[in-house]
Amino acid sequence: MITDGQILDYLSAIEPDRSNILETIENEAIKLDIPIIKKDVQGLLRFILGIHKPKKILEIGTAVGFSSVLMSEYASKETSIITIERSPYMINLAKQNIEKANKTNQIQIIEKDAQDALKGLKEQFDFIFLDAAKGQYITFLPYCVKLLKTGGVLISDNVLQDGNVAKSRYSVARRYRTIHTRMREYLWEINHHQLLETTILPIGDGITMSYKKEK
Ligand SMILES: C[S@@+](CC[C@H](N)C(=O)[O-])C[C@H]1O[C@@H](n2cnc3c(N)ncnc32)[C@H](O)[C@@H]1O
């Protein structure tokens, strides 16, 4: 967490109510220690979906389906969501949650590793939410750019790694150095990509927000 805890608690206390099903899925995920998007990122998604009104959403990293269900609630009823997950354990929980939320008509899970799934997708999306293994973001980026419509929005989560990404490689524990290097490459690439206009925001564990420009 890179935002001050007291500020987050205050902001969380004045937030509008969410649906019971979102509360339930979030509480279960917390109990099972499964990472899902933080409250401030939830607020940002609500806002962006409200103004951008995507018809087709792609999510990479379903986990228990919390963010998929949230996006389905804040996008229009006609919006379809494809979400990619490789863990059978997560897929099972996500399916149960999507059913409980009554969203099986809107949310489809692709049960594959994202690299294979992304290669197989032919349609383009108005909105892509990247929330999977951080070390793979740099590999997924070209697919995301290709699959994003011009004017479409790409958000990626957990990019600042508790602030570690801003520290020197040598001050980070040895086991985190590869991911540190890869995330720095990703942030450089997404910031300098010719087809993307990007801003990086220090909310949640850090997000990037980009839109795809005309060629
Ligand atoms: C942070 S969680 C996603 C949380 C979810 N978006 C939410 O906020 O409710 C990341 C998920 O991505 C999945 N994942 C990581 N790398 C993946 C890959 N290469 N292909 C498919 N799924 C992947 C993990 O199994 C995990 O469930």
63 is in an annotated binding site: no
Which range marks the domain in which residue 40 is found?
5-212
- Residue 177 amino acid letter: R
* Separation of alpha carbons 159 and 131, rounded Å: 9
Task: Name every residue whose Cβ is closer than 8 Å to that of residue 187 and which is 6 or more positions away in sequence.
Answer: 159, 165, 200, 208
Q: Across-strand partners of 153?
A: 127, 211
CA–centroid distance, 158 to ligand 1, in Å, is 11
Neighbours of 213 (CB within 10 A): 12
CA–centroid distance, 65 to ligand 1, in Å, is 10
Strands (E), 22-178: 56-60, 80-85, 107-111, 125-130, 148-157
Q: Is 69 in the pocket of ligand 1 (CB under 6 A)?
A: no
Residue 1: predicted pLDDT: 65
Q: Is 155 in the pocket of ligand 1 (CB under 6 A)?
A: no
- Residues 204, 112, 148: CA angle, nearest 5 degrees: 60
29 is in an annotated binding site: no
CA–centroid distance, 215 to ligand 1, in Å, is 31
The tally of domains found in the chain comes to: 1
Q: Is the dihedral of CA 25, 31, 36, 41 positive or negative?
A: positive
Q: Is 110 in the pocket of ligand 1 (CB under 6 A)?
A: no
72 is in an annotated binding site: no
Look at residues 39, 44, 38, 57 and name the one whose alpha carbon lies nearest to residue 148. 57
pTM: 0.96
Give the strand pairing for 80-85 and 56-60: parallel
Regions of the chain with pLDDT less than 50: none
157 is in an annotated binding site: yes
Query: Residue 117: which CATH number?
Result: 3.40.50.150
Q: Is 133 in the pocket of ligand 1 (CB under 6 A)?
A: yes
